[in-house]
Structure 1
C-alpha cells in the first residue's frame, strides 16, 4: 500500500486553493482523470487510490478528537496521504483508504492486518503508528510525519551516495528488520521509496501494506507480491517455492546496490525482462564506479539466488565492509544536497566506536521480542456500519497504554469537593508547565555538554524516585510508591490521590487552570467522604505492592528528603523503557535491562540505580567527561543517554 512520498516535509501552501469551485467542494486531482485523445488501445486500469475522496476539513474520531486536514502529500496504488494536524498543533501524515476500494473480505483482512502489524511496532527506525479511525467514506491511518523525504528522493537528488552514508543507513535498516523478524514479521516491500527520514536524518521503515506474519509451523508464504525491481527470485516461484524472511535480506542487497551505483541491479523498461534477469541473476557492477571491492562482495552475497545462501542479519553486520572505511556518528541534512564534508576526517578508531554505538541504538543485541499475532478480534468490527474493530484502537485496554496524559478531573467530582479546584480548561496550563520544565532541562543539559554550565557538586543530593509501580490503567489508573514514603494513584480521570505511609494525611492533586496542578491537603478528620473510594483504591495498591513488589531503590529512601509535595505528573511506556515525570522536575527512566537513570534538578545531576540496587548520583558534567558513572558504570550508558534526550524532546508538545 505504498504512498510514494507520502511522509515528506510540507510548506504552508493551501491544498488546491486555486482550484476551489464556487460550491466550496474541493476535489483532489487524479492523474488518471486527465483526458487524452480517444484511441483504440485498451484503457488503463484506474488506481484504487482514486476512489479515495478528499477528507473533510476536520476529521472526527469516535471519541470526538478532531484532526484538521492539510496538504495532499501523495498517493500509491491503494491509498492517498494527507497532512493532518491535531488540536494541539502537532502534524501527522494520514494514510487514507477509501472504503469503496474495500470490496471483499480479503481486501478488508489485508488492511486490518496492516494496521495490526504496524500498530504493534515500536522501534526508532520504524515509522511510528499514531492512531487509526474512520468516517463514512474513508479509513485513516495516522502516522509520524517524516519531513526529509525518502531514500528514493535522496538518490534522485544525489544520483549516488557515499559508502560512509550507506553504512549508517544500512545498520539502521538492518536493526529495524531484525526487530521485525524477531516478531515473525516479514515486510515484503522494502524499497528506497518506503524508507523515510526523520528530522534528525535517521531512516524509518514505513508502509506495512504487504507485511505478513509467518507461522512457526510453516515458515513460508506463497503470495506473489512486491515491487518488480525488488522482488526476490523465490517470490516469483509462487506456490512452487514459497518465501520467508530471506526476501527482506534480498531487498537489503537491492537497496545497497541502488544507493552505491545509482539504480537497482535488474532494472529494465519491461517488467518481464526484470523478472527474467532476477531469475537468472543477471546484473553487473558499473565499470566506472569507485565503490569498494568489499561493498561488491557483500552485495553479491546478499543477492544469492538461493535464499539459504544469503547471510543472516548478524552475519551482514560482521562483514568487513562495515569496518573498512569511515562510519559517521550521524548524518545531517547536508546529505540532502551533497556528500557531507566531515566524512574524510573520521578516524578508524572513531568509525569503530560509531559503528558499535549505532548497533546498540538500533537494538541489534536486544533480547527476543514476542511475535505479532493476528487475532480474530483484530479482523471483526463490533458494529455493522464500521470497519475498524475496537481491538485496533489505541485506547483498547487489551494493549498496554503508551501514555496516560493528565486530563481535567470530572466536573461532578470537582464541584462537590471544593470550589477552588473547579477550573474550566486546565490542560493548556498543564502542558505549558510540562513543556517549560522539559525545555529548561534540555537547555541545561545542552549547556553542560558544551561546557557552558557547571553544576555545583556541593548542592547535589539523591533524588526522590519511583520505587514501585503497578499499571492498572485498564480499570483504575497508575499506582506508584516514591522513595519519600508516599504512595499514590494517578487515576484515569486525571486526579491523583497521595498518602504518606506513616501518616493518615491525604493529598488530593487535581487540575488547575492557573497553576496546572493544585494540591489539597486533608487530615483524617477533614478528608471529604467523596474521596473514600479513591482512598480505598490507594490502600489496595499499597497492600499489593508491599506484598508482591520489591523496592527497586532501597538506598534512595534513607538519603532522600521526605518531601510531601512530590507526585507523578505523567508517565510514558516504550518498548525500551518506562519514563516518569515528577512534579519536582525529575525524569526517571526504568530500562528493560533493570538499570534505572534519573535526570534531576533540571538536568544538572544524573543518578544511576543498578539491578542490584546500588545507587550513584553525580553532576552531569562529571558523567559526560568520564563517559560513564564512577562506582556503578553502565556499559550502554551512551546509548541510554541519547535515548533519554530523545525522549525528552519527543514529549515537548508543539
Structure 2
C-alpha cells in the first residue's frame, strides 16, 4: 500500500485563557468546562462545550512537569508517550478510532489540553472487575466494529498494545471508538516484530508474558482483543491472580478455559483468538469472515479502502510544534543511542587503524 498524506488538520493553539463568569462557569479558551468524566494516571478528562458551536468534547488535561517525571520503562517517560499519542491521533482518521480535534499548549503554562471526540456512551465496559456480561448480539456488534478499527491501525503500521474494554468507547449512535494510544507502537518496513512490551497485565499475550526476544505486535493485539471478547461474554478475564507475576505465569502456562455454555461458533472464535502459539493465532482477516462475526454470512463485515499513512519519528518529536518548556523529547532513545554508539565505535576503529599505519611507517 502506498503511503498517503493525511488530509486531517488538527488545530494547535499556543494561547491559553482560563476564565470564570459571574455564575461560576469556567472556560478554557472557547470551551466551557462542565464536569469530570474520568481520572487517569496522567490527568483528568472533563466534558466541555464549545461556546459557539455548542458541540460537546472531552478534554484531557495533562500536567507536563508530572509527565516528564513519570518514568516508562528504562528509556522513556510519560511525556514522550503523550507526544507519541498526539502524533498518532493527528494522523488517524477512521470512524472506529477516537478523533483528536485540538491541542492547547501554551509555553507559559504547565498544563496541556487535548480536545477529543466525546463519546457519551462511555466505555463499553469499565475497569477489570467482574461485572454483568453483554448479550451475544452486543458483543458481536462491538467486536465487529473493533476489528475494523484495529485493522485500520495495523494498516497504518500501528499496534495499539492496550486493547481492553475500558479503551473501547461508544457514542450516542452506538459507533465504537478505539481510544488511548499512549503506549501504541509504530513500526517501519514490513515487519511488526518487536521486543518492546506494554499494556495491562490481564490482557497481555503469552509471548509477551514470557519475555520473548521478538514477537508480533499485531498478534499480541489480537490476543488482547480475544481477552476483551471473553470479558464481554463472561463478565471477567480468563485468568485471575493476586500478583502480576502470578498473572504472567498463568497466561504463559495454564490453558484458557472457555465454558461450553456459549454459542459453538463464538467458542470457536474465542479459542482461535486465545491460541497461545502466536503463529497459530487467528488473523484479523480471518476474523472478518468467521461465521460468528458474519452471522453465517448474513452480515458480511464491510470496510472501505484503507489508505496507509506514516507517522515518522520527526512527527512524534514535533507532535506539538514547540519543544514543551525545553523538555527533551527523546523518541526511540534506545535505538538512537545504539546508532550513536556504533558510529563512535566506527570512528574510534578508523582512528586506531590510522594510528597503527602511521606507527608502522615511522
Name the TM-score, length of structure 2 as normaliser: 0.74
Aligned partner of 1:210 in structure 2 is 183
Aligned partner of 2:35 in structure 1 is 71
Secondary structure at the counterpart of residue 180 of structure 1: helix
Secondary structure at the counterpart of residue 247 of structure 1: helix
Compared CA separation, residues 72 and 280, structure 1 to 2 (3 A): same
Secondary structure at the counterpart of residue 272 of structure 1: helix
Which segment drifts farther, 152-161 or 96-105? 152-161
CA-CA distance at 1:156 after TM superposition? 7.7
Q: Relative contact order (C-alpha < 8 Å, sep 6+): which is higher?
A: 2
1:102 aligns with 2:67: yes
CA contact (8 A) 2:210 2:252 kept: no
1:58 aligns with 2:31: no
CA distance in 2, matches of 1:145, 1:255: 22
Secondary structure at the counterpart of residue 240 of structure 1: coil
Match of 1:122 among 87, 93, 103: 93
Aligned partner of 1:321 in structure 2 is 292
Segments of 5+ residues of structure 2 without an aligned counterpart are 1-21, 70-74, 329-362
Compared CA separation, residues 152 and 258, structure 1 to 2 (3 A): same
CA-CA distance at 1:200 after TM superposition? 0.9
Aligned partner of 1:93 in structure 2 is 58
1:132 aligns with 2:106: no
1:81 aligns with 2:45: yes
Secondary structure at the counterpart of residue 68 of structure 2: coil
CA-CA distance at 1:278 after TM superposition? 0.7
1:253 aligns with 2:226: yes
Residue pairs, 1:227-242, within 5 angstroms: 227-238=200-211, 240-242=213-215
Q: Deviations over 1:192-216 (max 9, x none)?
A: 0011110112211111111111222
Segments of 5+ residues of structure 1 without an aligned counterpart are 1-23, 27-55, 61-65, 326-350, 390-654
Secondary structure at the counterpart of residue 113 of structure 1: helix
1:309 aligns with 2:269: no
CA contact (8 A) 1:235 1:241 kept: no
Aligned partner of 1:196 in structure 2 is 169
Secondary structure at the counterpart of residue 33 of structure 2: strand
CA contact (8 A) 1:223 1:238 kept: no
Name the TM-score, length of structure 1 as normaliser: 0.42
CA-CA distance at 1:157 after TM superposition? 10
Aligned partner of 1:273 in structure 2 is 246
CA-CA distance at 1:387 after TM superposition? 7.3
Aligned partner of 1:169 in structure 2 is 142
CA-CA distance at 1:67 after TM superposition? 1.9
Q: Deviations over 1:244-289 (max 9, x none)?
A: 21111111211111111121111223222211111114332246xx
Match of 2:309 among 371, 378, 384: 371
CA contact (8 A) 2:63 2:110 kept: yes
Compared CA separation, residues 268 and 133, structure 1 to 2 (3 A): same
Aligned partner of 1:441 in structure 2 is none
Secondary structure at the counterpart of residue 148 of structure 2: helix
CA-CA distance at 1:155 after TM superposition? 9.9
How large is the Cα RMSD of the aligned pairs? 2.9
CA-CA distance at 1:234 after TM superposition? 1.9
Secondary structure at the counterpart of residue 226 of structure 1: coil
Secondary structure at the counterpart of residue 248 of structure 1: helix
CA-CA distance at 1:73 after TM superposition? 1.5
Match of 1:264 among 225, 230, 237: 237
Aligned partner of 2:341 in structure 1 is none
Greater than 6 Å deviation, 4+ residue runs: 154-158
Residue pairs, 1:2-41, within 5 angstroms: none
CA contact (8 A) 2:37 2:45 kept: yes
Larger radius of gyration: 1
CA-CA distance at 1:388 after TM superposition? 10
Secondary structure at the counterpart of residue 152 of structure 1: coil
Secondary structure at the counterpart of residue 125 of structure 2: helix
CA distance in 2, matches of 1:144, 1:387: 29
CA distance in 1, matches of 2:290, 2:323: 54
CA contact (8 A) 2:210 2:248 kept: no
Aligned partner of 2:16 in structure 1 is none
CA distance in 1, matches of 2:257, 2:95: 34
Compared CA separation, residues 385 and 255, structure 1 to 2 (3 A): closer
CA-CA distance at 1:173 after TM superposition? 0.5
CA contact (8 A) 2:156 2:308 kept: yes
Residue pairs, 1:403-552, within 5 angstroms: none
Match of 2:125 among 146, 152, 172: 152
